[in-house]
Amino acid sequence: MGEPVPVLLAGVHGHGRAHLRSLRELAGSGLVRLVGVCDQRPVAEDDDLEGHGALPCHADLGEAIESTGARITVLATPIHTHLPLARTALEHGSHLLLEKPTTATLAEFEELTAAVDASGLACQVGFQSLGSAAVEAVRTLVREGAVGRVRGIGGAGTWVRTSAYYDRAPWAGRRRLQGRDVVDGALTNPFAHALATALAVAGAATEAPRDVELEMFHAHPIEADDTSCVRVRTADGLPITLAVTLCAPEHLPPRLVVHGDLGRIEFEYTLDRVTVHRPGRPPATTTHPRTHLLSNLVEHVRGGEPLLVPSQATRAFMHVLEAVRTAPDPVALPAGMQHVYRTEEGVRRIVPGIDALIHRSAEHLALFSELDPAWSPAARTGATDAKATP
């Protein structure tokens, strides 16, 4: 198996904690060794870093890589820092596991791709759902004609986030921060996996889509979207819709639906679960294994195993993110379209009926406004945010 690969984690707080837990498991198997962490915010002396114990903590990424000898750097930092920090890691000879979304703009994505190519190093992007064997299982079902000709792919995501989610960091829920693009909306961050996975299932992950239609809203008092839908037409014309909210009455696993003229395939990508529905037959459900993207990156560095999510595999996703970035600002939902109340976790906002609307969107491959004229962005222009009530 060889010696454990030395790994540095940049970004300890927030989602970095999940990476620390994963690194502990991979270190236990002898695959990697966490040699240090890097963060602008200091780590408390009594912080055992999710079971890793005391580790060198650095504020400068280049110095951290040089002093630790890290062969792989995990970047779990804010979206708008991805490109400059990725450049630093590559310049210091470190391969990358880069948290999604890849970058904050399409131009930055092109710069990153060029820098990776010039370095001869590897960059894996952290779309964990693309490490699932379920993606290829769905593609195989489609190729074999299990549901006939595919008419399109619909996606539905209904999650719950309170004000604490947006209070966790200065960039959370922002489209821009201090003159820098951030693009931290529901479509591009929490539900980015849904979009990237749908594009992968369609075989359209590496090429620019034909067009992108967007309807973006927010109930929380933020800049970015928390309730939105998008319809992407791939280069060959296949429609992919995704409708999502962080203001649902209930938190449910998101799903993708491949619509065929002889049936449908439901893919619950967070559960690696695939269900085939065909008339006259009982549903057939299978669950599939998932490869950890850092494990795959280590095998690539050691022996040339193909990367599961190289940066080029996120090109179509980045074109959609660019459409979100350059679109008009999301429209605020008025008080009459949301219920607002306080919980121990923070202010919660529920948009009544949004779960049904989202599932109708996934079923009909339709935008909100095509299902209910009241959801036309033009009809909502000028609306104001609701205020939190006790």
Q: 197, 255 in Cβ contact below 8 A?
A: no
Pairing of strands 263-268, 176-177: unpaired
- Mean pLDDT computed over every residue of the chain: 94
The residue with tokens 């893919």 is 267
Residue 229 and residue 361: Cα distance in Å, rounded? Answer: 8
Q: What is the pLDDT of residues 105-162, one digit of tens each?
A: 999 999 999 999 999 999 999 999 999 999 999 999 999 999 999 999 999 999 999 9
Residue 16 and residue 8: Cα distance in Å, rounded? Answer: 11
Q: What is the pLDDT of residues 76-111, one digit of tens each?
A: 999 999 999 999 999 999 999 999 999 999 999 999
Q: What is the pLDDT of residues 285-308, one digit of tens each?
A: 999 999 999 999 999 999 999 999
72, 78, 80, 86: CA torsion to nearest 10: -10
**Between the CA of residue 196 and those of 125, 143, 347, what are the distances in Å?**
11, 19, 30
Give 46 or 350, the one with higher predicted confidence: 350
Q: Give the model's confidence band at 384: pLDDT under 50 very low, under 70 low, under 90 confident, else very high.
A: very low
Residue 295 and residue 32: Cα distance in Å, rounded? Answer: 9
**Between the CA of residue 120 and those of 52, 94, 117, 301, 307, what are the distances in Å?**
31, 10, 6, 11, 14
Residue 380 has pLDDT above 70, yes or no: no
Give the per-residue pLDDT at 1: 62
Other CB atoms within a 10 A radius of the CB of residue 390 amount to 4
Q: What is the pLDDT of residues 304-338, one digit of tens each?
A: 999 999 999 999 999 999 999 999 999 999 999 99
The reply to whether domains 5-121 and 133-289+311-379 share a CATH topology is no
User: 353: part of which helix (H) or strand (E)?
Assistant: none
Give the per-residue pLDDT at 53: 82
Give the per-residue pLDDT at 134: 98
Side-chain half-sphere CA neighbours of 388 within 13 A: 12
Residue 222 CA to its chain's centroid (Å): 19
This prediction's pTM = 0.95
Q: Give the model's confidence band at 48: pLDDT under 50 very low, under 70 low, under 90 confident, else very high.
A: confident
Q: What is the DSSP string of 166-202?
A: HHSSTTTT-SEETTEE----TTTTTTHHHHHHHHHHT
Give the per-residue pLDDT at 390: 32
The mean pLDDT value for 342-363 works out to 97
Domain locations in the chain as residue ranges: 5-121, 133-289+311-379
Question: Residue 309: which residues within 8 A CB-CB, separation 6 or more?
Answer: 124, 125, 126, 127, 130, 131, 293
Q: Which residues are 152's β-sheet partners?
A: 259
| In this structure, CATH architecture of domain 133-289+311-379 | 2-Layer Sandwich (3.30)
Q: What is the pLDDT of residues 199-251, one digit of tens each?
A: 999 999 999 999 999 999 999 999 999 999 999 999 999 999 999 999 999 99
Residue 382 has pLDDT above 80, yes or no: no
Give the per-residue pLDDT at 319: 98
Give the per-residue pLDDT at 352: 97
Amino acid at position 111, single letter:
E
Give the per-residue pLDDT at 6: 97
Pick the CATH number of 5-121 from 3.40.50.300, 3.40.50.2300, 3.40.50.720, 3.30.420.40: 3.40.50.720
- Which one, of 319, 249, 83, 282, lies nearest residue 182 by Cα? 83
Q: Which two tokens stand for residue 270?
A: 């967070």
Q: What is the DSSP string of 89-143?
A: HHHTT-EEEEPSSS-SSHHHHHHHHHHHHHHT--EEE--GGGGBHHHHHHHHHHH
